[in-house]
Amino acid sequence: MCKTLVIVIGCLIAFTWTIYSAQARPGKRFDAKTQTCRMIADGQLDWESDHWGTGAQKFKQVCKSCHTRDNDKGAPFLYMESYGSKGWNRVFAERRIPCKQDGSWDVLSAEELLLVNDYLYRNANDTYDPNDADSCG
Ligand code: HEC
């Protein structure tokens, strides 16, 4: 009887923690290029910026065509946790990056690049920090 209670309480704590961590993911992203606040935890963008959305797909199809582990293109290995949320925003909005400048990103439309940025921002290496990473609003 007592054991069961302990197990039930344990499960409740684990469950609450799961929900809590999921919510610690950032829900908004300020995009410097378009000067807009993107609500990435709502509606269509919620879907698109998660692991099954367009952002993740395009990252795999395009960026990961070079940035795999041990590739022969001279590209450093990259995955969603290579940078924090702000770091990814800088990659897309500010930094001069050779592959961006030589046209390797041009197969993606401006809209698709926003979705890739949303996906990486939302799943970056600091997104489980309880002080969530929302950058606007
Ligand atoms: C055609 C191959 C190719 C594609 C496609 C490509 N990259 Fe790159 N990327 C490279 C190479 C090669 C470098 C290293 C260039 C150098 O340091 O001279 C690089 C460098 C980078 C860097 C800098 C890494 C560092 O440590 O400074 C980032 C960030 C980056 N790429 C992000 C991306 C993203 C995001 C995409 C998809 C939108 C992408 N790349 C698509 C080849 C590619």
Mutating to test ligand 1, I would choose from 99, 116, 121 the residue with most ligand atoms within 8 A of its C-beta, which is 99
∠ Cα 48 118 37 (to 5°) = 105
Q: Answer yes or no: are the C-beta atoms of 91 and 31 closer than 8 Å.
A: no
Q: How many CB atoms lie within 10 A of CB 2?
A: 6
Distance CA 4, CA 57 (A): 43
Q: What is the pLDDT of residue 1?
A: 66
Mutating to test ligand 1, I would choose from 81, 92, 95, 97 the residue with most ligand atoms within 8 A of its C-beta, which is 97
Mutating to test ligand 1, I would choose from 33, 64, 67, 72 the residue with most ligand atoms within 8 A of its C-beta, which is 67
Q: Answer yes or no: are the C-beta atoms of 17 and 78 closer than 8 Å.
A: no
Distance CA 44, CA 21 (A): 21
Distance CA 45, CA 119 (A): 9
Distance CA 59, CA 122 (A): 13
Q: Looking at ligand 1, which residue's alpha carbon is closest to its atom 26?
A: 76
106 pLDDT higher than 70: yes
Token pair for 27: 């829900």
Q: HSE on the CB side for 113, CA within 13 Å?
A: 17
Rounded mean pLDDT, 77-100 = 96
Q: Answer yes or no: are the C-beta atoms of 130 and 26 closer than 8 Å.
A: no
Which tens digit of pLDDT belongs to each residue from 23-73? 578 999 999 999 999 999 999 999 999 999 999 999 999 999 999 999 999
Asked whether 104 lines ligand 1 (CB < 6 A), one says yes
Q: Looking at ligand 1, which residue's alpha carbon is closest to its atom 40?
A: 63
- Between 1 and 136, name the one with better pLDDT: 136
Q: What is the pLDDT of residue 25?
A: 86
